[in-house]
């Protein structure tokens, strides 16, 4: 078993700009705190406005004058496979750094470390199946080339909750399309992404294709508005996403937004109770509950509520909460005290609204000083309550009841969000019928969540717009140009 005392030593990194590491020009660094120990793990340089200009200029030169956008799909794919191979050499140290900066269970960190090379290899494989140029015949009889050309310099914002996995949602598609990148990780968890920079150097990617800068709010806002940036790819909260969309509108930048969620798991009356309880008990602790596609609303009939909630509570009581470095741990700490207090605030507001805390609701016994929250199930609140409407982003599940199936669909769709959802039924065709009535970008049948590099994902409504992953993920990084011959 790996303990925190055996983790890699404290890490200090600068800014990766134009193929080299450099310090912040104004000497600012952000301390990176291990959520499990609440001790400083490392330091990351924070970009100044001058550093930001340099990073965008490097990406701009690499796009306007460098070889990357002018390579064939096959050439870019070959470079991406080399990048994947270099990252695979670093799986274990990358896992350990991610573990220390995020507090996620070690299995989740390893999954994220393996995800970037996996997604790179998938995207590279698309080079042989997609065409960026198509010859058509116009109505006039003229020959026309319809081309998909890279959109340009991409500013990609990576959130703190899953930096490796969510970088994998953006970087491979952008690279295959021929774009250059300025990656902006969160100062909360900036260090693991630096392995991507080291791997890019070893893989021989041209300088300036990938640049990585952590930054505070002011500099991040300047990145959105920067005239040298052609596209924003953002994953994060809906509130920040709205602000980015408004800022980007001034220069008509292209924008992809993958925002918040309040997904519903709709349980039909013929669904096996063990399947539902097991699925929810599995998914609730994942990523310490900080998954935007988390099915955080369980919609069950009044007839089966007690049966399903009882089975779920029993299953959740077996959840191992503790040191994320322990392979047995399923649920680690919240990322910081501010987020811990935010999640606890939602639980307290549910109590104030008359909700019943079936299990959890606070720190586990014996962990009174840590940032840990037991898996929590809330019942007896209305579909319009705060607990049922707001994204909690922690290991908290709200149970809502319906009287008939039309009401069940109404409750599932009663959300400003539309990122993901699930339907449980003993009849697959019947589940599919209801899945098609759920207004979300992704719906899983008899499973709590669905993600795959070959399958597009994205949201409806306040969960954003644009799609990531799959062949469709390339489309958000290209422009279409018609050339009349």
> Cα(276)–Cα(433) distance, rounded to whole angstroms?
18
Q: What residues does 153 pair with on adjacent strands?
A: 180
Q: What is the helix (H) or strand (E) element at residue 173, kind and residue range?
A: helix 163-177
- The answer to whether 58 and 153 are in contact (CB under 8 A) is no
| Local structure of residue 9 (DSSP, 8 states) | P
For residue 248, give the nearest of 233, 238, 269, 237 by alpha carbon. 233
3-state SS, one letter per residue, for 149-161: EECCEEEEEECCC
Specify whether the CB–CB gap between 77 and 83 falls below 8 A: no
- DSSP state letter for 189: S
Whether residue 410 contacts residue 77, with contact meaning beta carbons closer than 8 Å, is answered with no
Give the C-alpha separation, 177 to 201, whole Å: 20
Q: What are phi and psi of 255, to 5 degrees?
A: -140, 135
Rg over alpha carbons for the chain, rounded to the nearest Å, is 23
The reply to whether 390 belongs to the active site is no
Tell me if 159 sits within 8 A of 235, measured CB to CB.
yes
- Give dist(CA 423, CA 407) in Å, integer: 14
Catalytic residue among 258, 353, 405, 479: 258
Inter-residue contact 325 to 105 (CB < 8 Å): no
List phi, psi (to 5°) of 13: -130, 150
Q: Which residues are catalytic?
A: 258
């Amino acid at each position: 078993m790996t303990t925190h005392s055996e983790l890699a030593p404290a890490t200090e990194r600068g800014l990766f700009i134009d193929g080299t590491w450099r310090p912040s020009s104004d000497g600012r660094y952000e301390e990176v705190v291990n959520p499990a120990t609440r001790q400083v793990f490392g330091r990351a340089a924070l970009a100044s406005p001058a550093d930001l200009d340099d990073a965008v200029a490097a990406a701009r030169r690499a796009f306007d004058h460098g070889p990357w956008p002018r390579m064939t799909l096959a050439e870019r794919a070959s470079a991406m496979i080399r990048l994947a191979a270099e990252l695979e050499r670093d799986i274990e140290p990358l896992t350990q750094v991610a573990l220390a900066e995020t507090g996620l269970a070690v299995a989740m960190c390893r999954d994220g470390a393996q995800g970037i090379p996996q997604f790179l290899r998938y995207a590279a494989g698309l080079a042989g199946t997609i065409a960026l140029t198509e010859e058509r015949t116009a109505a006039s009889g003229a020959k026309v080339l319809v081309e998909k050309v890279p959109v340009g310099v991409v500013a990609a914002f990576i959130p703190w909750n899953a930096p490796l996995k969510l970088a994998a949602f953006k970087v491979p598609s952008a690279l295959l399309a021929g774009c250059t990148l300025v990656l902006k990780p969160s100062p909360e968890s900036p260090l693991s992404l630096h392995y991507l920079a080291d791997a890019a150097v070893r893989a021989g990617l041209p300088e300036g294709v990938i640049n990585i800068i952590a930054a505070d709010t002011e500099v991040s806002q300047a990145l959105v508005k920067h005239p040298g940036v052609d596209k924003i790819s953002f994953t994060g909260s809906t509130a920040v996403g709205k602000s980015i969309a408004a800022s980007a509108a001034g220069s008509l930048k292209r924008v992809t937004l993958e925002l918040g969620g309040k997904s519903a798991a709709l349980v039909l009356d013929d669904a096996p109770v063990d399947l539902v309880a097991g699925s929810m008990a599995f998914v609730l602790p994942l990523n310490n509950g900080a998954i935007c596609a988390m099915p955080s609303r369980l919609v069950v009939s009044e007839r089966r509520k007690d049966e399903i909630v009882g089975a779920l509570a029993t299953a959740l009581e077996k959840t191992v909460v503790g040191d994320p470095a322990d392979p047995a741990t399923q649920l680690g700490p919240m990322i910081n005290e501010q987020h811990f207090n935010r999640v606890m605030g939602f639980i307290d507001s549910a109590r104030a609204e008359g909700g019943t805390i079936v299990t959890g609701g606070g720190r586990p016994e014996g962990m009174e000083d840590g940032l840990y929250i037991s898996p929590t199930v809330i019942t007896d609140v209305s579909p319009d309550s705060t607990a049922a409407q707001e994204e909690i982003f922690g290991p908290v599940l709200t149970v809502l009841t319906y009287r008939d199936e039309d009401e069940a669909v109404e409750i599932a769709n009663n959300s400003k969000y539309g990122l993901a959802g699930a339907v449980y039924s003993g009849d697959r065709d019947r589940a599919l019928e209801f899945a098609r009535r759920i207004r979300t970008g992704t719906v899983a049948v008899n499973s709590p969540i669905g993600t795959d590099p070959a399958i597009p994902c994205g949201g409806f409504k306040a969960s954003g717009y644009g799609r990531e992953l799959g062949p469709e993920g390339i489309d958000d990084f290209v422009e279409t140009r018609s050339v009349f011959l």
